[in-house]
A and B are shown apart, each in its own frame.
Chain A
Amino acid sequence: QQKVQQSPESLIVPEGAMTSLNCTFSDSASQYFAWYRQHSGKAPKALMSIFSNGEKEEGRFTIHLNKASLHFSLHIRDSQPSDSALYLCAVSPTEGADRLTFGKGTQLIIQP
């Protein structure tokens, strides 16, 4: 069964700094890799996804995937207090967002 682990469990970052979150997975046949963000008391919401090795940038957010290392990451440039949330990484054996296995999450606090 797929195992997905996130690090760190929690993180405090000053406003304007770079935030880096990590996710490792166990099944090398995985095809879809995503980050979801969940503000306190709210539903998770998809942030970014990637399918092939390399990087993908959307605004202040960059996702990086290295399938050989069974690792992907999320980087947030110029972190803002509104970025404070629980970040969940998710992995799927299919090409889309199906049968996701989530990590336990990283609680991110951006300090003004």
Chain B
Amino acid sequence: EAAVTQSPRNKVAVTGGKVTLSCNQTNNHNNMYWYRQDTGHGLRLIHYSYGAGSTEKGDIPDGYKASRPSQENFSLILELATPSQTSVYFCASGDRGNYAEQFFGPGTRLTVL
């Protein structure tokens, strides 16, 4: 079973502060993704990456940056956190090809006050 871990699991931040969410996967997957999940919106793609050094914008990238320093690690950065970014954030990894699936981490609950 693919293993994806996230840290921290819970985070309280202040408006205007910088927040970094980290994700690590040990399955040598090329692709990694960041989503946020809000009631009434489902899962929405923020940023994704196809390998170390690459990041791409997803459907809702505004206010977020991403960093993929290695195959295993993918970070989501909120330079100036706002209350509207209060959400549960999920990281996922996967490979291309038929019958591939995405494997999700346990999530990070972020509250911006």
Q: B-contacting residues of A (Cβ < 8 Å)?
A: 1, 34, 42-46, 49, 51, 88, 94-105
Task: Tell me whether B45 is interfacial, beta carbon within 8 Å.
Answer: yes
Of residues 13 through 72 on chain B, the ones whose CB sits less than 8 Å from some CB of chain A are 31, 33, 35, 40-45, 48, 58-59
- The listed residue with most B CB atoms (<10 A of its CB), out of A46, A97, A100, A102, is A97
Contacts of B105 in A (CB 8 A): 43
Q: Contact check, A102 vs B101: say whether CB atoms are below 8 A apart.
A: no
Question: A interface, by DSSP: helix, strand, loop or mixed?
Answer: loop
Contacts of A44 in B (CB 8 A): 43, 90, 104
Given A1-B59, A104-B41, A98 and B90 contact (CB-CB distance below 8 Å):
no
Contact partner, A46, options B43, B44, B90, B101, Cβ 8 Å: B101
Contacts of A96 in B (CB 8 A): 94-100
CA–CA, A101 and B35, complex, Å: 10
User: What count of chain B residues pass the 8 Å CB interface test?
Assistant: 27
Task: Tell me whether B82 is interfacial, beta carbon within 8 Å.
Answer: no
Contacts of B96 in A (CB 8 A): 94-96, 98
CA–CA, A12 and B101, complex, Å: 28
Contacts of B102 in A (CB 8 A): 46, 97, 100
CA–CA, A79 and B36, complex, Å: 29
Q: Contact check, B44 vs A102: say whether CB atoms are below 8 A apart.
A: yes
Contact partner, B98, options A45, A46, A51, A104, Cβ 8 Å: A51
Q: Contact check, B99 vs A49: say whether CB atoms are below 8 A apart.
A: yes
- The listed residue with most A CB atoms (<10 A of its CB), out of B90, B99, B101, is B101
Given A1-B59, A94-B96, A98-B31, A104 and B42 contact (CB-CB distance below 8 Å):
yes
CB distance from B40 to the nearest CB of A (A): 7
Contacts of A94 in B (CB 8 A): 96
CA–CA, A96 and B41, complex, Å: 23
CA–CA, A51 and B48, complex, Å: 22
Q: Which 5 A-B pairs have the closest CB atoms?
A: A46-B101, A43-B104, A96-B100, A104-B42, A102-B43
CA–CA, A23 and B100, complex, Å: 20
